[in-house]
């Protein structure tokens, strides 16, 4: 995702402007808020970052919640919301069917590993927002290089639960060609002497401890090199699923149509006698709850078989609900350009043969060029190309994409008060509090997402009015977004927008407020449809102004009624073209539901620092008295003002790349509970000590160390950031002394030369000399890649497709990958002793993977005999996709890459696409 650059503005706000203080907090001095600046080092992740979990089978069997330091950050505390009963849902077009369900198998995070449980300080995130069309969300993950058993990150579970959607983790056994190993499957299906599957207890424990709702099992390991799997594996898997359901019947378990009763990988693309055993055993007893049917039912070669119709017939014959079958549609590559034979999915008499399963609707995010493109693509995928689920659309081809809204009635989790939405997508380029920007720090945390409008978007206009709706990240009431309507308004004419489906009870004490702003004074009316189908129109107590305005609607006359649909009407007394209207908040609650919460025992659980101690990663936790939907985390500045660091929905928080702001060697943090009206409860503070980093630390890098006479060599200081002065001594160079962060020189005569850098600041000085740093040789006009195609060995590798040889084959699309506990070693035999001076490494990003997978820390060692090694490079904080390390030229036959920190996060898999050793043959 891309966003425009922003100007950093230092602003202070009084408490009256941006703090709504509860009485319990009133005794605290009114705080001054400084707008938090943008992240100075985007993309940097500190070593102490908590990480969402993933395991290989043997790792999960030994997992102990009591010793898992990341566990507090990985638990979802949001209960699964109750949805409106299906028989109360009101279709908005003639083709919607209350029985048809949707399963979304979605890549919510780019990789299996390295994911922060509640996001980090960057806006880039898959903030999926069409939960109203989903009945089950599968958090898709797992790889042979990272781990196979992947629970959902808690921010995804939180977002799903707010919308009443169960969220499932993934158990993924890849095919052999993707690195699958039958040993992993054997470990997973290991039984004790009583026939009890050991993994059942672990899967249940993880789901119940983490607070998610079950598992999706994708077993595709085929063991082809040993003749395939036997029917014994199928029988064991059936027994495994039944034991799981017996132990935890409340947890959902979904089976993928892959393995058949013979144990073979033979995708049926339907419910057949070959895979029925995974839904129902021979005695008619249930096995898995649901089955995701493979994608090929829509291919022309299978069309005549009408596989979905036959699946429905077999399901009914066996007493299975056909809507527990999900017809798979793979949209990962083409999204809504994917051709699908919808006539094979639809029944002639209306409705559908089965439910619908979308594989990788995350395409809308991964293919998008920016946030708005993401939102537009999601709308077309889930609603239709008219961005209106009630629109009547005719299609020219049975394969033309139909939005999901054609088949599925919009679900709603608005069934009780309080119902509060700030229209937050769960990320932002800024953070707003009561309409004021208090942080320019990019952020994402899907735990802070709100229940968004059910209908996207159903609008009606009088006269010449015309408005379009979208989400705006430039203005918000709380969080990062508001709902923006833009267009033109004719004087005295109304425009209506229908926002939410609901089954919401009202009492005589119900408070209904809406916070909004408009470019011209606007009369706002609330339109609610009651359970008897009648509409009630209620005018706001005042007009919406050009500043954020909170209005109240008197709904006391509707006490005892239930609201089934929520809409608003807007009108202006004057013509407005252009016209904008922003919805910032809708709140429906009982006054007695507002609780004052208190935070106490705030602790710094862990802290890590970069080499210069200029940035910190900090884990905080605290105790809670009462409850609050949000906890705002602040830094207390030297002038006692506050700077927002982020917001949590639980009793822990991770601060990534906290910048050092002064030389006191201390930072003070405050955590404040916030109720759903943004009233603040009683907060508390804690201090953290920084290491003393007053003295500078000298270091430098040379553009090349083995060069021909007259070649330009640039020396660049890599000294600590607190360095104030830099001086160079370069005997034999065109400049023998110099000052400044970099200097470029030439050497006219062959020979070996030393280099010295001296640095200082007010606290003291440091220097570094490298003897024989530069070698000038007439033969060094062009250095040779000495490593390509040479013999290479490694401490380990995942499979033959990611073997060590691919690190020196000259193809940057193939890699060496090693898993397990680091360090990971790759040793290149150059074949003979050579003079080497630099190594170029292509890390994960150079091969097309995420930057968070780039090697963070590694060493390069050299040896003449393969036994005695000398370290020539030690890198501890790399973040680049390609690195070039130079060192004083040295004789070597063997070059060893020793990877000590494989990624930017906690993932332990090394990914190296190419290693090039440059020098001169001897």
CA 35 to chain centre: 25
The C-alpha atoms of residue 882 and residue 904 are separated, in whole angstroms, by 14
Q: What is the pLDDT of residue 404?
A: 98
Beta strands in 259-306 (DSSP E): 290-293
The set of residues, in sequence order, having a beta carbon less than 8 Å from that of 250 and lying 6+ positions away, is none
Q: Do 481 and 451 meet the contact criterion of CB atoms below 8 Å apart?
A: no
Q: Do 904 and 849 meet the contact criterion of CB atoms below 8 Å apart?
A: no
Q: 878 to each of 46, 261, 849, 883, how far by Cα in Å?
A: 12, 49, 16, 8
The set of residues, in sequence order, having a beta carbon less than 8 Å from that of 367 and lying 6+ positions away, is 335, 377
The pair of three-digit structure tokens given for residue 46, joined into one six-digit string: 């500190």
Mean pLDDT of 49-77: 96
Report the share of the chain in percent with pLDDT over 90. 88
The C-alpha atoms of residue 262 and residue 255 are separated, in whole angstroms, by 16
Q: What is the pLDDT of residue 821?
A: 80
The pair of three-digit structure tokens given for residue 260, joined into one six-digit string: 């058949």
The pair of three-digit structure tokens given for residue 309, joined into one six-digit string: 């119709």
Q: Do 918 and 836 meet the contact criterion of CB atoms below 8 Å apart?
A: yes
Band of residue 687 on the pLDDT scale cut at 50, 70, 90: very high
Q: Do 421 and 454 meet the contact criterion of CB atoms below 8 Å apart?
A: no
Mean pLDDT of 222-245: 95
Taken in order 649, 650, 656, 661, the sign of the CA dihedral is positive
Q: What is the pLDDT of residue 1?
A: 33
Taken in order 281, 284, 285, 290, the sign of the CA dihedral is positive
Q: Burial, 721: exposed, middle or buried (Cβ in 10 Å; 0-12, 13-18, 19+)?
A: middle
The C-alpha atoms of residue 34 and residue 69 are separated, in whole angstroms, by 33
Band of residue 4 on the pLDDT scale cut at 50, 70, 90: very low
Band of residue 906 on the pLDDT scale cut at 50, 70, 90: low
Band of residue 21 on the pLDDT scale cut at 50, 70, 90: very low
Q: What is the pLDDT of residue 737?
A: 97
For residue 31, pLDDT over 80 is answered with no
Phi-psi category of 344—alpha, beta or left, where left has phi over 0 and alpha has psi -120 to 50? alpha
Q: What is the mean pLDDT of the chain?
A: 94
Mean pLDDT of 496-511: 98
For residue 814, pLDDT over 70 is answered with yes
The C-alpha atoms of residue 395 and residue 385 are separated, in whole angstroms, by 11
Query: Model-level pTM greater than 0.85?
Result: yes
Q: What is the pLDDT of residue 663?
A: 80
Q: What is the pLDDT of residue 30?
A: 56
- 125-153 pLDDT, tens digit each: 999 999 999 999 999 999 887 899 999 99
For residue 922, pLDDT over 90 is answered with no
Least confident of 25-29, 81-85, 139-143: 25-29
CA 445 to chain centre: 8
Band of residue 346 on the pLDDT scale cut at 50, 70, 90: very high
The pair of three-digit structure tokens given for residue 443, joined into one six-digit string: 């952020």
Mean pLDDT of 643-653: 97
**Angle, CA of 70, 140 and 132, to the nearest 5°:** 100
Mean pLDDT of 680-695: 95
Mean pLDDT of 445-459: 98
For residue 541, pLDDT over 60 is answered with yes
Q: What is the pLDDT of residue 336?
A: 97
Secondary structure class of 296 (helix, strand, coil): helix
The C-alpha atoms of residue 847 and residue 844 are separated, in whole angstroms, by 5
Q: What is the CA radius of gyration of the chain?
A: 31
Q: Do 620 and 669 meet the contact criterion of CB atoms below 8 Å apart?
A: yes
- 172-199 pLDDT, tens digit each: 999 988 889 999 999 999 999 999 999 9
């Amino acid at each position: 995702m891309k966003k425009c650059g922003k100007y950093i503005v230092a602003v202070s706000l009084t408490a009256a402007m941006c703090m709504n203080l509860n009485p319990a907090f009133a005794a605290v001095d009114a705080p001054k808020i400084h707008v938090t600046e943008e992240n100075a080092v985007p993309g940097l992740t500190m070593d102490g970052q908590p990480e969402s979990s993933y395991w290989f089978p043997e790792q999960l069997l030994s997992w102990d919640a009591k010793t898992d330091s990341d566990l507090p950050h990985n638990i979802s505390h949001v209960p699964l919301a109750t949805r409106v009963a299906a028989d109360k849902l009101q279709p908005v077009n003639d083709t919607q069917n209350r029985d048809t369900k949707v399963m979304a198998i979605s890549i919510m995070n780019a990789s299996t590993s390295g994911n922060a449980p509640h996001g980090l300080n960057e806006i880039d995130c898959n903030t999926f927002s069409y939960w109203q069309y989903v009945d089950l969300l599968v958090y898709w993950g797992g790889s042979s290089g990272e781990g196979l058993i992947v629970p959902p990150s808690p921010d995804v579970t939180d977002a799903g639960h707010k919308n009443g959607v169960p969220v499932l983790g993934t158990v993924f056994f890849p095919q052999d060609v993707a690195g699958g190993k039958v040993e992993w499957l054997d470990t997973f299906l290991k039984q004790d002497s009583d026939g009890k599957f050991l993994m059942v207890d672990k899967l249940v424990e993880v789901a119940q401890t983490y607070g998610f709702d079950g598992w999706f099992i994708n077993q595709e390991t085929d063991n082809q090199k040993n003749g395939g799997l036997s029917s014994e594996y199928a029988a064991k898997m059936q027994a495994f699923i039944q034991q799981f359901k017996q132990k935890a019947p409340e947890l959902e378990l979904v089976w993928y149509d892959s393995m058949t009763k013979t144990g073979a990988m033979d995708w049926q693309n339907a419910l057949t006698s070959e895979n029925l055993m995974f839904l129902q055993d021979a005695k008619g007893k249930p096995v898995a709850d649901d089955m995701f049917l493979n994608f090929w039912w829509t291919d022309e070669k299978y069309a005549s078989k009408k596989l979905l119709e036959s699946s429905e017939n077999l399901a009914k014959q066996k007493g299975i609900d056909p809507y527990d079958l999900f017809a798979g549609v793979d949209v990962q590559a083409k999204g809504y350009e994917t051709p699908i034979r919808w006539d094979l999915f639809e029944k002639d008499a209306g409705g559908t043969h089965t439910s619908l399963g979308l594989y990788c609707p995350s395409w809308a995010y991964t293919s998008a060029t920016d946030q708005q493109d993401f939102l537009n693509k999601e709308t077309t995928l889930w609603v239709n190309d008219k961005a209106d689920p009630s629109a009547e659309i005719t299609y020219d081809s049975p394969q033309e994409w139909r939005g999901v809204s054609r088949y599925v009635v919009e679900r709603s989790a608005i069934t009780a008060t309080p119902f509060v939405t700030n229209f937050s997508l769960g990320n932002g380029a800024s953070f707003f509090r009561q309409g004021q920007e208090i942080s320019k720090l990019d952020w994402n945390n899907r735990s802070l997402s709100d229940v968004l409008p059910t209908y996207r978007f159903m609008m009606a206009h009088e006269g010449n009015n015309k408005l379009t709706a979208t989400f705006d990240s430039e203005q918000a009431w709380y969080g990062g977004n508001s709902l923006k309507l833009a267009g033109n308004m004719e004087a005295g004419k109304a425009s209506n927008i229908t926002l939410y489906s609901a089954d919401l009870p009202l009492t005589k004490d119900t408070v209904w407020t809406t916070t909004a702003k408009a470019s011209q004074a606007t009369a706002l009316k609330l339109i609610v449809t009651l359970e008897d189908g009648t509409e009630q129109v209620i005018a706001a107590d005042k007009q919406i102004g050009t500043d954020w305005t909170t209005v109240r609607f008197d709904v006391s006359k509707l006490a005892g009624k239930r609201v089934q649909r929520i809409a608003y009407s807007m009108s202006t007394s004057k013509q407005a073209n252009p016209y904008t209207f922003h919805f910032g908040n809708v709140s429906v609650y009982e006054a007695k539901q507002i609780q004052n919460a208190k935070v106490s025992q705030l602790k710094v659980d862990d802290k890590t620092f970069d080499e210069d101690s200029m940035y910190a990663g900090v884990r905080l936790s605290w105790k809670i008295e009462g409850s609050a939907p949000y906890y705002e985390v602040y830094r207390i500045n030297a002038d006692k003002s506050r700077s927002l660091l982020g917001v949590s929905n639980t009793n822990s928080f991770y601060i990534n790349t906290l910048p050092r702001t002064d030389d006191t060697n201390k930072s003070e943090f405050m955590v404040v509970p916030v109720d759903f009206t943004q009233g603040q409860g009683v907060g508390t503070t804690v201090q953290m000590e920084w290491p003393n980093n007053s003295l500078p630390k000298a270091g430098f890098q040379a553009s090349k160390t083995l060069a021909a006479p007259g070649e330009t060599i640039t020396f660049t200081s890599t000294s600590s950031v607190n360095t104030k002065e830099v001086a160079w001594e370069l005997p034999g160079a065109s400049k023998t002394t110099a000052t400044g962060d970099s200097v470029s020189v030439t050497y006219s005569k062959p020979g070996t030369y030393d280099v010295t850098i001296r640095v200082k600041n007010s606290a003291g000085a440091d220097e570094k000399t490298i003897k024989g740093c530069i070698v000038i040789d007439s033969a060094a006009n062009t250095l040779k890649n000495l490593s390509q195609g040479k013999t290479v060995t490694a401490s380990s590798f995942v499979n033959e497709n990611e073997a060590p040889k691919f690190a020196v084959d000259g193809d940057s699309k193939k890699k060496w990958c090693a898993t397990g506990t680091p360090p990971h070693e790759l040793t290149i035999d150059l074949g003979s002793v050579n003079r080497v001076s630099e190594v170029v490494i292509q890390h994960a990003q150079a091969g097309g993977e995420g930057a968070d997978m780039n090697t963070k820390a590694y060493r390069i060692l050299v040896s003449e005999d393969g036994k005695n090694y000398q370290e020539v490079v030690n890198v501890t904080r790399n973040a680049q996709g390609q690195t070039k390390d130079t060192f004083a030229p040295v004789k070597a036959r063997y070059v060893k890459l020793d990877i000590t920190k494989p990624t930017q996060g906690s993932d332990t898999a090394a990914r190296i696409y190419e290693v090039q050793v440059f020098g001169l043959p001897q």
